Amino acid sequence: MQSENLWKAIQAHQFDVPGADLPFSRKLANTESWSDEFTLGAIEEYRRFLFLSQLSDKPVTPSDVVDKVWHLHMTYTRDYWDVMCKTVLGKPLHHEPGMQSADSARFAEQFSHTKALYHATFGSPAPVAYWGPPPPPRASKFRILIATLVSAGVAWAGIMTGDGVYIAMSLVFAFCGWFYISGVLIAGKPISAHMKTGNNPTGCTTSCGDGGCGGD
């Protein structure tokens, strides 16, 4: 009954305070370049993480996505410490960043424990969209359109020359240019960062590994 009441209290907590100049969910979406739908889902997974932190008999570790929600929530100090921790959870919930390389293995183990506890508590595996590799940043439709038009112009210029070799080179350049401009420069990350994110099968990235927590 106690855990049931706790879960209801966490669910009832309002992250978007009425009348705020910039609601929490909007700031989160803007900061992380997430869609509104994904942002709301991430907040719901953060609620579940908060609940698991109180059920677990040892520290738990969030996914990269959930950790980003947690980080932003802690900047709302009054809501985090005075409302969520003091009133809803009934005790502090501290963020413990890793300081040494050895911490990575410990946080990875905690992450596995957290996902196992998630499955046992909620009756289904932690959704990959929020507990797997972090999503790539969302590029604006306008900039993608500009990148597409520029790349198409390069390709068309090559076709107009009538030279087969030049046409092929122009098409390759146009495709690579579109990928780089729309997927990398707009997102603000180097190619290596995108490739690393896409190849991570666990979802426990550096941010996830840097975030353990304890309920005392």
Cα distance between residue 93 and residue 215, in whole Å: 5
Single pTM value for the model: 0.66
Mean pLDDT in residue range 126-131:
96
Model confidence at 140, in pLDDT bands (50, 70, 90)? low
Condensed to tens digits (0 to 9), the pLDDT of residues 171-208 reads 666 666 656 655 555 444 443 333 333 333 334 433 33
For the ranges 51-55, 126-130, 171-175, 202-206, which has the lowest average pLDDT? 202-206
Q: Where are the domains of the chain?
A: 2-137+203-214, 141-188
CA distance 186 to 137: 9
Q: Residue 142: its pLDDT value, please? A: 57
d(CA 199, CA 192): 11
Please say whether the beta carbons of 178 and 151 come within 8 A.
yes
The pLDDT assigned to 80 comes to: 96
